[in-house]
Amino acid sequence: MIDSFKTALEKELTDGILKYWSEQTIDHKNGGFYGQISYDNKVNAEADKGAIMHARILWTFASAYRQLGDQKYLEICDYAYAYIKANFLDEKNGGVFWMVDYLGNKVDGKKQIYANAFVIYAFSEYAMAKGIVEPLELALNIFQDIEEHSFDQELNGYFEAYTEEWVLMEDLRLSEKDKNEKKTNNTHLHILEAYTTLYIATKNQKVGQQLRNLIELFLDKILDTDTYHFKLFFDEKWTLKSDEISYGHDIEGAWLIQEAAVALGDDALLEKVKEVAVKIAEVTLAEGIAEDGAIVNEGDPSGITDTDRHWWPQIEAMVGFINAYENSENEVYLQAAHRLWKYTEAHLINKEFGEWWWRVDENNIPNLEEDKVGPWKAPYHNGRACIEGIKRLEKIQQVQTT
């Protein structure tokens, strides 16, 4: 099972995800990548282009190059990096603009910390792929901007969003579906993954200090140790403002926090985080996995509230369950990961037009309204999970053969 599982991930990564994004999404006329492509590959060549999507593309191809060594992936990295540097970096005020138009002109200069974190993540991965210093210098500049403006020196954590000139905004929401609160699980999670990669690339002491602080924040403030769900929305004093459960964020957060602890090299902290990661996987498996093996979208203390299967939680949960198997050697987690992959392969991959559906309902009917390529839809979740899955399954094979 492990060998065929790994082979399937390799095939989807190279012949599916990376092939699609390298062949279908590059805006050769105006630069960067198209801001919007529908499920059936209709390109909106004049759609605005988002910082998050561009950073996620850069990160994915940099990571793929480091895993696979194919020069064509590095060429796409060079192209994406040059576009982000030229069009999204705010040379006057620091940080990263939210959105540019199809020609690359700024249309929204706000500083959403989530987007700034993704550029750190991408630049750090690219620097390691390319073996050059400049992206790390730029990433450290953005790190300093986040620490100077967004970090709450008094009550800890990071505020969500600022104007172009770094004034805290009234509307802090990352998207329309989010609550307008000052601190969120989601933003803290993606700062954590960015700081993890920046620390691996630089071993900068301040980055390491703030990375450790983020792990402790997740354990002390964001994790509900009664339920082993991550709480989602808070005010500035860390008062909980929502009882929603996001099963995808739970299981994704479990393995990302463990990766952060691995990067720090603190054995005691790592053991603590491993126990938490297995417990979250246990709860996710019990509460969030449907009879067909898919992970459902959302719930609350009363039970499941949204049975749709979005593309990214399926594949993040696959990694989270493989991680739980590595920690516990409990076969139930490896089987759950494989079921998630088989479900994804059958129902989330758009076999007619390429890449993946945004979501399908509980009857596996795809949603045709949501984009295949857009400000939030990039190859990062599915690309990263394939890369992680391949690495981890190889490691499991090695252990089993020795």
| Angle in degrees, CA 8, 260, 140, rounded to 5 | 110
Yes or no: say if 140 and 192 are a contact pair by the CB < 8 Å rule: no
Which single residue is written with the structure tokens 């104007």?
Answer: 163
Q: Taking the complete model, does pTM exceed 0.95, yes or no?
A: yes
Q: Please give the C-alpha separations between residue 207 and each of 125, 146, 214, 264, 275, in angstroms, as whole numbers.
A: 15, 11, 10, 10, 25
What is the model's pLDDT at position 292?
A: 97
Which residue in 92, 73, 85, 74 sits closest to 32, CA to CA? 85
User: What is the spatial distance between Cα 288 and Cα 151, in angstroms, rounded to a whole number?
Assistant: 33
Contact indicator for 6, 390 with CB cutoff of 8 Å: yes
DSSP-assigned states of every residue in 107-127: EE--EEHHHHHHHHHHHHHHH
Residue 110 CB: number of other CB atoms within 10 A? 16
Question: In the prediction, which pLDDT does 148 show?
Answer: 98
* Spans in the chain with pLDDT lower than 70: none
pLDDT of residue 177: 75
- Residue 388: its pLDDT value, please? 98
